[in-house]
Copies of this chain bind each other. A is one copy, B any other.
Amino acid sequence: MNLGKLQQAAVLLFAQQGFAATGIRELGAAAGINSATLYHYVGSKEELLVSVMKDCLNEMIRSGSEALRKSSEPALQLAGLISSHVGFTGTNQLTSRVAEYEMRALSETNRPAMQGLRDEYESLFAQVLERGTRVGVFSTDDLTMARLAIMEMGTGVAHWFRPNGRLELHEVQQNFVNMAYRVLAADPTLLTGVDFMVAPRQLASEPDSLSAPETVP
């Protein structure tokens, strides 16, 4: 037994049923321990959620920041950032879903810190898009809406991507970069010959399952 296994069980159940609908005994059962034993690893049900969310958001920020550091060109930075975002979301589908959905389940004690990390992550996109627009490599009617749209569509990957499905994850990453470029009217030839791709890391909290056949044709 260790915290990782417990987090995996938690993420699986939280993703399926939601934090509020998941009982502590259910969590214990899924992790193969008594519900009381659970309190040896974690102070409370909410703390368990916090530990999952913190790891998740920190890795998102780390991975996104790393992508930004690979180049100083906004267009390439954006490609890296989207590649990171989609890669992470595809690799940690359940965890990232929980981190997004269950923000509202946090008490006032914990929400500000987690929301702060989320804001920090989103600001990575805002910065790149703004610089790219200023420099003239991106062009949109409304930059804010474009940013929100691009992030949202990337996040959606968590809902449908299946490992061992029709598409490899790197194909999905490439494709989403292409779509973002189109939305921003960026020049796709900027990408030729450049390695912007970010290899995603799997979190300890991400369950192994979900290798089922792709549900979306």
What is the CA–CA distance of A211 and B172 in the complex, to the nearest angstrom?
37
Among A14-22, A70-78, A189-197, A198-206, the stretch that binds chain B is A14-22
Residue of B nearest to A184 (CB): B182
Number of copies: 4
Contact of A179 among B16, B149, B159, B160 (CB under 8 A): B149
Is A58 located at the chain interface by the 8 A CB criterion? no
For the complex formed, measure the closest distance between the CB of A90 and the CB atoms of chain B, giving whole angstroms.
12
Q: Which of A4-12, A29-37, A139-147 contacts B (4 or more CB under 8 A)?
A: A139-147
Q: How far is the CA of A28 from the CA of B64 in the complex (A)?
A: 44
Across the two chains, which residue of chain B brings its CB closest to A156? B152
Does A69 make an interface contact (CB < 8 A)? no
Question: Contact mask A98-137 → B, CB, 8 Å, 1/0?
Answer: 0001001100000000000000000000000000000000
By a CB distance below 8 angstroms, the chain B residues around A104 are 16-18
The interface residues of chain B lying within 8 Å CB-to-CB of A175 are: 141-142, 145
Which among B148, B152, B179 is the interface contact of A183 at CB below 8 angstroms? B179
Q: Which residue of B lies closest to A21 (CB)?
A: B20
Bound together, the chains give a CA A167 to CA B142 distance in angstroms of 10
Provide the residues of chain B in CB contact with A105, threshold 8 Å. 17-18, 21
A to B CB contacts below 8 Å, 25 in the list: A17-B104, A17-B105, A18-B18, A18-B19, A18-B104, A18-B105, A19-B21, A20-B20, A20-B21, A21-B105, A141-B178, A142-B175, A145-B167, A145-B172, A145-B175, A145-B179, A148-B160, A148-B216, A149-B153, A149-B156, A149-B179, A150-B153, A152-B155, A182-B182, A182-B183
